[in-house]
Amino acid sequence: MTEKSSFQVKINRNRCEGKAACVAVCPNQVFEMGLLSKEEKNQLSFRGKLKAWAHGGKQAYATKMEQCNGCNRCVEACPEKAITITEG
């Protein structure tokens, strides 16, 4: 039986510009690129909406958060400082 990760990965949707640096550096394939849903777009600030539009609505998603080992490579690689990792 595999133990579930205790790390929580959060991506600030108003900051993420979909540059995929987190995807490239994650040793555990926690991240995937995806398109913002209409609901997610509606929740963005004005500036966040402009960024989303400029980048085609693509952003990173932590689709396999249970595989996160808390190494923080994604946090360090993100040029927008959009990712935080907490334990618990």
| 5-61: pLDDT as tens digits | 689 999 999 999 999 999 999 999 999 999 999 999 999 999 999 999 999 999 999
**pLDDT at residue 39 in the model:** 97
Q: Coil, strand or helix: which one is 62?
A: strand
Q: Specify the DSSP class assigned to residue 44.
A: S
Integer-rounded Cα Rg, in Å, for the chain is 13
Q: Global pTM?
A: 0.89
